[in-house]
Amino acid sequence: MSTNLLDRTHVFENSATDNILQALKTAEKDKNYYAFYDQIKASRLPFIPCYEKDTKLVHEQCFDFLQMLGEISIPVSVALSMHYYILAAVASYPFSKTSKEYWKREILLKKIKKERLLIANTGSVRTFKSVDGNQAIVADKSGDSYVISGEAPFMSLSGIADYAVFTAEMKTGEKAVFFIPLDQEGIVFKDTAFGETMEGSFTKSVEFRNVRVDSSGVIRLDADEDERCDLLIYQRSWFQALIPAPYLGAAQAVLKNLKAFASKRIKKGKLLAESESFLDAMGELRIRYQAAAQLSNEAGSALADFRKDNKRKLKRIFESSVVAKYFSTHFAEEIVSKARHLMGTRFLTPGSLTEKVYKEIVFGPLQPMTDVDIREYFGEQAMEDGTI
């Protein structure tokens, strides 16, 4: 039951998707998000990357489902995008079958699928670092295990997810990706400043107080590559490629409201929907939505074209995902803002979907990579290779 412009076909039953979407509508009404997350975990929908091995289809199916959720709730869709991007990146990364990482990954995927585990993530790179005392997450080797300490300012699905995935720095200077269960002593969640604005995402800061982790849940990274490590770049590319979905879903919901509004309002003796000026404005918004959808589709194609140790392809993947994120989130915000002008005060009716979206749509461009980071990156590229 794909609802976006690309009209893709899903491997999951429409009835299962419909049930989850209805459960989210109920959660939005009753503010009982715990019940929604329990229901979605009982379905196969959060575990698409465990069932589907075609990377392009994984992106399409995850993106489309997140977009459907975004039509109802940006916060919930954003939270689940964190689960999806980590799971999809780990599931599709081309580890060598002779490596320990490959078999650790396979064991982890089987566990996630069998036990229906949701994954939270703390590893997003942000423009500005805090000076309020938050410490970076560090890991210290202790025998056959590691001891984790430090704090991350944001983690969606806090108190909901079963496992956390994050990158920590070793005291030796190396980095490693950790997979750890969240139901253990020493992990503390603290409320963030978002309040009710992102209700349903369960976004909080998380502190690790000397948490011990078995080495089976660790993937070591090449210290020589540091921030340019292929796996980390691949993960970030998945994030940028999926995060437009919640906001485009919300923009699509607003366009539907705008269409319904125009079909019931008369201006100068005829329906607003029939006026040339309205059709011109609607066409402009549709173009923005279409462009965003196509850029997101291109990002998925780039991810599917990845080959290990090919820096050129990895750069294309990263840049395609960043471009999709940049324009899609901005276009979504512009669609909502323009619709507000066309609908007037009706748009801001207390308790309406449009009013709720208006408050939440601004988070899209603010999520990493932020506009500042993106423009700086492409500015540096232009100076280095002479492109404009």
Could you tell me the CATH number of the domain that includes residue 190? Answer: 2.40.110.10
* CB distance 239 to 176 below 8 Å: no
221 confidence band (pLDDT: 50, 70, 90): low
Note the pLDDT tens digit of each residue in 277-288.
Answer: 999 999 999 999
**335 — phi, psi (to 5°)?**
-60, -45
386 confidence band (pLDDT: 50, 70, 90): low
Number of other CB atoms surrounding residue 206 within 10 Å? 22
**Widest Cα–Cα separation across the chain:** 80
pLDDT at 219: 75
Q: For the chain, where are the alpha helices, taking DSSP H only? A: 14-30, 33-41, 48-51, 55-70, 74-92, 100-115, 230-242, 244-262, 276-304, 311-343, 353-360, 363-366, 371-385
For the cut 70, the answer to whether the pLDDT of residue 302 exceeds it is yes
Residue 352 lies in a domain: yes
Task: Compare 269 and 33 and report the one with higher pLDDT.
Answer: 33
Note the pLDDT tens digit of each residue in 154-177.
Answer: 889 998 999 998 888 887 777 888
Cα end-to-end span (Å), the chain: 41
Note the pLDDT tens digit of each residue in 313-339.
Answer: 999 999 999 999 999 999 999 999 999
Residue 2 lies in a domain: no
Please name which of 193, 214, 242 lies closest in space to residue 49, comparing C-alpha atoms: 242
Residue 126 lies in a domain: no
For the cut 60, the answer to whether the pLDDT of residue 37 exceeds it is yes
Pair (273, 377) in one structural domain: yes
Pair (100, 174) in one structural domain: no
* Structural domains of the chain, count: 3
Pair (376, 243) in one structural domain: yes
The residues with which 133 forms a beta bridge, in sequence order, are none
pLDDT at 385: 74
For the cut 60, the answer to whether the pLDDT of residue 151 exceeds it is yes
Q: In the Cβ-directed half-sphere of 385, how many Cα atoms lie within 13 Å?
A: 7
Q: Which residues of 220-231 are buried (b: 16+ CB within 10 A; e: fewer)?
A: ebeeeeeeebbb
Pair (219, 314) in one structural domain: no
Instruction: Please name the amino acid found at residue 4.
Output: N
Pair (241, 369) in one structural domain: yes
What span, in angstroms and rounded, lies between the C-alpha atoms of 170 and 142? Answer: 11
Compute the mean pLDDT over every residue in the chain, rounded to the nearest whole number: 87
Pair (185, 318) in one structural domain: no
Pair (240, 360) in one structural domain: yes
Alpha-carbon dihedral of residues 103, 224, 372, 202, nearest 10 degrees? 30
* CB distance 343 to 239 below 8 Å: no
For the cut 80, the answer to whether the pLDDT of residue 139 exceeds it is yes
Pair (276, 194) in one structural domain: no
Helices 230-242 and 311-343 pack at an angle, to 10 degrees, of: 20
For the cut 60, the answer to whether the pLDDT of residue 205 exceeds it is yes
**Entry pTM:** 0.90
129 confidence band (pLDDT: 50, 70, 90): low
Q: Average of pLDDT values for 33-42?
A: 95
In the block, tokens 């209700």 appear at 199
What span, in angstroms and rounded, lies between the C-alpha atoms of 134 and 126? Answer: 14
Give DSSP secondary structure letters for 177-222: EEEEESSSTTEEEEE-TTGGGGTTS--EEEEEEEEEEEGGGEEE--
User: Which two three-digit tokens encode residue 17?
Assistant: 């998707």
List the domain range (segments joined by +) for residue 219. 138-225
Spell out the residues 6+ positions from residue 164 whose beta carbon is closer than 8 angstroms to its own: 119, 120, 121, 122, 155, 178, 179, 180, 182, 187, 206
- Which range, of 205-214, 227-236, 279-288, 325-334, averages the lowest pLDDT? 227-236
- Of 225, 241, 258, which one is at a domain's C-terminal end? 225
Q: What angle do CA 338, 342, 345 make, to 5 degrees?
A: 105
Spell out the residues 6+ positions from residue 186 whose beta carbon is closer than 8 angstroms to its own: 208, 209, 210, 211, 212
Q: Average of pLDDT values for 265-289?
A: 90
Residue 236 lies in a domain: yes
